[in-house]
Amino acid sequence: RAEALADGVLVDVTEMATWTSEDPMVGQVSDTAGTKGFTEVGAPGRTRIFAQLAGLQSFGNLRVTPSNE
């Protein structure tokens, strides 16, 4: 989910943003309408998930650890 401050109000801009992953092998993020921002994890590791809108960019860190079997 991505939010922006507009006139003192937080606005959900998830569907307006462009979503990318620094390392899709660790975490893929959807940039498809209706599922934008949804992340699917893959191999253990770390990556950043980016949201870009109107020349601005923000990111969140994603860490994937092995499951305990």
- pLDDT tens-digit profile of 10-40? 999 999 999 999 999 999 999 999 999 999 9
Cα–Cα distance for residue pair 10/34, rounded to 1 Å: 20
User: pTM of this prediction?
Assistant: 0.86
Residue 54 region by backbone torsions, left for phi larger than 0, else alpha for psi between -120 and 50, else beta? left
Residues in the chain: 69
What per-residue confidence (pLDDT) applies to 59? Answer: 96
Task: Indicate the pLDDT class of residue 69, thresholds 50, 70 and 90.
Answer: low
Q: According to the model, what pLDDT value does residue 65 have? A: 95
Using a pLDDT cut of 90, give the percent of the chain over it. Answer: 84
Tokens 């650890």 correspond to 65
Q: Are 12 and 3 in contact (CB under 8 A)?
A: yes
